[in-house]
Amino acid sequence: MTHPDTLAVDFGTSNSAAALLHDGAIVRIDVEPGEATLPTAVFFPADGGEMQIGSQAAQSLIEGEEGRYMRALKSILGVPLVHETRLISGRRRAVTDVITAFLTVLRTKAETQTGRSITRALSGRPVRFHSDHPERDTQAEKDLRGCYTAAGFTHVDFLAEPEAAAISCQAMGAADGLGLIVDIGGGTSDFSVFRNGASGPDILASHGIRLGGTDFDHAVSMAHAMPVLGLGGQLRRTMGAGLLPVPRAPYVELSTWAKIPFLYTQDTRRMVADMVRHAVDRPAMERFAEVLELELGHELAFAVERGKIAANNGEGSAAIDMGALQRGLKIALAVDDLNRDLAPTRTELRAAMAETLTQAGISGIDVGRIILVGGSSLMGFIADEAQAICPQAEVLRSNAFTAVVDGLALATA
């Protein structure tokens, strides 16, 4: 695709970025003051005020402003939930409406900073939005294309995110030979095997699975935070003897970034109030009821995310700080806990890397470079698993948050 006013957009589950190519140079859009990336998050004030995005949205949540916070919007593209409307800040909106509003802000910022009219986009996309669901994958791209169109883009193309990262890596002067892109995002993990060529990287194979950093958070939350709210407990029967297990479903939703806002309904609150009355561990269930009543789900998710990062960094004092719910409540989280919680994830990621090499028709021993991309690639076990598959490879940490958008911008030339 060749067009001078094509906006490269890396619309991510956790973070987003935008850039243009000007005279062969990448011009990243300051999507936040002095920043080339911003959290993919929005906040709608309860009083009907203007939608906030990125760090400002998170700050409003942290400061306790009344309103609705939403994150990980990309995760539900391709499923019916993305089109269901909810009452948000006095208006019924679907997630597609929210994504459209977010993309509109990115386009407007790009136009303001460049003084150019922008109606074309090259968007990154995961190799697979959904693992093992081709129809959902097709629908997810269709949903996202519709959001771009509604945001004022008249022409939209897509490029797989790890392939964009490979373009960026070659432009930075990566050595010849075989390389493996390992792009671990918030909602998906993508892999490309490439060989540098005179006209750009030759992509030998690309593969992806629906697994990312928000799934890491989910696993840690289910193992450590949710039991403090009653998960794993028991309920007394309304009639008769015996006990029933506390249902898992609401905890699964509470520990899933994209689904948290949809828990705040009267039906869910009534269900949990009934669970409080019958809970064997009533204090734990009362905590769950308070999370719903005060809409503290995202504060809890942030606490889990911070604890995960601290444990990954080897901080001895790492913990999930649940003080927003109960003063002084902290759940210790060691790196050994993290490794145990994420063991199934590690297995899936290693299998996906191996499958990518198989599709490329090469052995891991032949890979000279592993390029880590995406914020969640900073988890220590990612490099360990990649090197287990490619034992002779050098591990390179590309610019984790901008490699994809840079490659997309270069691909518009």
Cα–Cα distance, 65 to 62 (Å, whole number): 8
The mean per-residue pLDDT over the stretch 53-74 comes to: 92
Q: Which domain holds residue 392?
A: 176-212+343-399
In a domain, 168, yes or no: no
CATH number, domain containing residue 74 = 3.30.420.40
41-45 β-sheet, strand order = 52-53, 41-45, 67-71
- Residues 150, 101 share a domain: yes
Provide the mean pLDDT of the chain: 93
- Residues 311, 285 share a domain: yes
- Residues 155, 83 share a domain: yes
User: Which of 32-46, 170-184, 226-240, 371-385 bottoms out in mean pLDDT, i.e. has the lowest?
Assistant: 170-184
Please, what sign has the CA dihedral across residues 350, 353, 357, 358? positive
- Residues 347, 201 share a domain: yes
- Residues 257, 141 share a domain: no
- Residues 104, 54 share a domain: yes
- Residues 283, 316 share a domain: yes
The reported pLDDT for the residue numbered 98 is: 96
Q: Convert the pLDDT of each residue in 242-296 to its tens digit.
A: 899 999 999 999 999 999 999 999 999 999 999 999 999 999 999 999 999 999 9
Instruction: Say yes or no to pLDDT of 336 above 60.
Output: yes
In a domain, 332, yes or no: yes
In a domain, 1, yes or no: no
- Residues 90, 137 share a domain: yes
Based on the structure, what is the number of domains in the chain? 3
- Residues 279, 187 share a domain: no
Query: Residue for token digits 């009543």?
Result: 293
Cα–Cα distance, 377 to 162 (Å, whole number): 13
292, 312, 341: which is the final residue of a domain?
341
Structure confidence at residue 383 as a pLDDT band (50, 70, 90) = very high
User: Which of 168-172, 218-222, 313-317 bottoms out in mean pLDDT, i.e. has the lowest?
Assistant: 168-172
In a domain, 99, yes or no: yes
Backbone angles phi, psi at 192, to 5 degrees: -135, 135
**Rg (the chain; Cα; Å):** 22
Instruction: Say yes or no to pLDDT of 174 above 70.
Output: no
The mean per-residue pLDDT over the stretch 212-217 comes to: 96
In a domain, 171, yes or no: no
325, 341, 357: which is the final residue of a domain?
341
- Residues 374, 320 share a domain: no
Query: What is the per-residue DSSP string for 252-267?
Result: HHHTSGGGGGGG-SHH
Q: How many Cβ atoms are within 10 Å of 104's Cβ, its own excluded?
A: 17
Structure confidence at residue 175 as a pLDDT band (50, 70, 90) = low
341, 364, 387: which is the final residue of a domain?
341
Q: Which of 106, 137, 138, 139 is nearest to 122 (CA)?
A: 106
- Residues 82, 198 share a domain: no
Instruction: Say yes or no to pLDDT of 297 above 80.
Output: yes
Long-range contacts of 280-285 (CB under 8 A, 24+ apart): 280/233, 280/234, 280/235, 280/236, 280/243, 281/230, 281/233, 281/234, 284/227, 284/228, 284/229, 284/230, 284/233, 285/229, 285/230, 285/233, 285/246
Instruction: Say yes or no to pLDDT of 87 above 70.
Output: yes
Cα–Cα distance, 384 to 20 (Å, whole number): 34
The reported pLDDT for the residue numbered 3 is: 58
Non-local CB neighbours of 41 within 8 Å, separated by 6+ positions: 53, 54, 57, 58, 69, 70, 71
- Residues 258, 322 share a domain: yes
Residue 147's beta-bridge partner residues?
none
The reported pLDDT for the residue numbered 2 is: 45
The reported pLDDT for the residue numbered 1 is: 40
